[in-house]
Structure 1
Amino acid sequence: MPDEKLRRLVAMRDCDRILSGVRPKTMRDRLADLEAGGDLDGWPDFYGDGPVEALEARVADLLGTQAAVFFPTGTMAQQVAVRYGADRTGVAAAALHPLGHQEVHERHAYAELTGLRGIASTDRPRNPTAADIAALAEPVSTVVFELPLRDAGFVLPGWDELVDAVKATRAIGARVHFDGARIWESTSHLGRSLREVASLADSVYVSFYKSIEGISGAVLAGTEDLARYARAWRHRYGGTLFQQWPAILIAMAGLDRELPRLPEYVRHARTIAESLAELPGAKVFPQPPHTHQFRLWLPHSADALNAAVLTVAERDRVWFAGNWQDATVPGWAMTEITVAAEALQWTPTDVADTATRLLAELP
């Protein structure tokens, strides 16, 4: 691990208060999550049985689907979802957002490994609308909706807009797939339960390490037919590991601990966003946030902000927000704010006080 990254992890871990993000955990810290996730005196999984099947059943029940299949990575699960659509419809093209995870963060695995073509579902920084789908110039097997669309600022459609887009997808004979890595926290903005949201889709992918604070793993949920197909292709892709019980038990612990608290995080994110928007030159998007994550811009360089955050953390034991990146507009930097358990005690006064300390360190 690079020395600078290790320094940031140690500084954040040792802070008394954290505004954005989740306190880093050592491997020993993670052992407590294993204890909380299940009976450690029970038998581990062997090639996907036991604890793996228990987690699959739990997620299928949460989403209201017929079945669910555990994958070691979301990238693998997403490939299987779009491959299934192409195989079942005979159309080797899928409608994907240019800012979606499959285009930006998976090295175009759907094309390189499955031979599918990606068709842009829209060129706007939001999920496709019914009009966008109706205007597609060629047939597609699947339309992918990323809920929320992370690289557009964790943005979500309204419920009625999403329902209309799903109807438009059915009208062109395509399947609906939800890239739901962060679907857990999307229910507040959509105003519907997890089951109601998932019921719109033919398949849903969820992640365990993003909002649930697991260590790895994902589930692809849908029909029994999809599950049989997914298990076969999981094996072919090398995803049927001998044992995965640590990831399974920590995911179980996260579902117990974090899932019920996500609506509270979303509500408090609105308070934090309002406070951050009052900083000199600050820009917050979306305002109010759609989930417990949103974007913050400040008129300073990323290097200066990252250095200032580290200085304040090591001196005052208070973590503001890290991982600043220079924006496309010169002189500005952007970071993603994540409001989780550590931030719930922060008041607008706390935000302003810490920001004052941070800005005092900037050149």
Structure 2
Amino acid sequence: MVTTLDDTKRAAIGEKLADLKALQNLIISNDQKLIDACPDEDVRKRLQNMLEDDQKNLGIIETVIVQYGIQAEPSAATKIFIPQFEKMMSGDEFTYYQKLMQHELMKHGQAMSGIIIHKAAQKVGADIEVAIGPLNTVNFEGRAHQEQLKGMLELVGVREMTGKDADQGLWARVQDGVAALSGVFGSIATQNSDKQDMNIQTLIRLDHNKTNTIFTEIGATKDPQKLQEYFGQLYKDLLVHAQAEEEVVYPRIRSFYGDDNTQELYDEQAQMKQMLDEIKAMDPTNADEFRSKIKDLMEAVGDHIRQEESTMFSAIDNNCSDEQKEQMATEFKAAKSKLQQEMAA
């Protein structure tokens, strides 16, 4: 039988994502502190724009964690760092310039963490890259914020030391550079990622894409250890996805999708759960037989996905308002998060 559904490398990425979320909350809190204490109207306005970006990006990080499928606690180091940083930023020992500099350093650390997560995903599994794709926007905006903060630091630092305004050379160049980057990348990335958790079809399709990627990974290896790793993630992802749909989506669509069609979705997922448990009881060292059973599962899941993405999605579009689809997405994400936490416990 499959000896474990957990993998240390995936758990490590899960912890890093939990760090990312905890530090993003800290950044948001610190944005507000800097805004409240800001001596310059122009700097305050730009910090307010950053706060709005950071609040949106927290939602993206939360969505990524749910799509990744592993709920973890932040690292011990992060738990120690956060209260120390909050104390430092709340005290009077540091000037505004020094606090702004610490904020820029944290933005840098956050951007590097996002890059490291992506690099680790490339070594662990393509399905992880699919799940964490929206982090690209968070990383991009974090780096853009760094550039803006450099300009703010120049302005605030010179003013603290001399009482006069700095020449605007660096500040102007920073603003021009950020505007140019935003024109090329920002609008597309932000508009797409901003709505990752706003549409139920989008969230379900993200799950389907990740599932299909894991099936591809399984089909490409005969290594028992990799087979066990991929199946462990597939098992958890499919169970959580199915349960969340049965709690949130299927009861909502029955009235307009029809009793027979909706019951068919329930029945298909019941069959899928049975197949998952049968595969879980198998020995993955018998790679050929293991992969053969996975192929049967893939075909059953593929049929289910095609029905959902064609007739079910169309029925939702025809019978639900944008607000209803957004509410369903919020409830679906919350249900998945709760189930993942229960599974981790």
Q: TM-score with structure 1 length normalisation?
A: 0.23
Q: TM-score with structure 2 length normalisation?
A: 0.24
Query: Which has the larger helix fraction?
Result: 2
The structure with more radius of gyration: 2
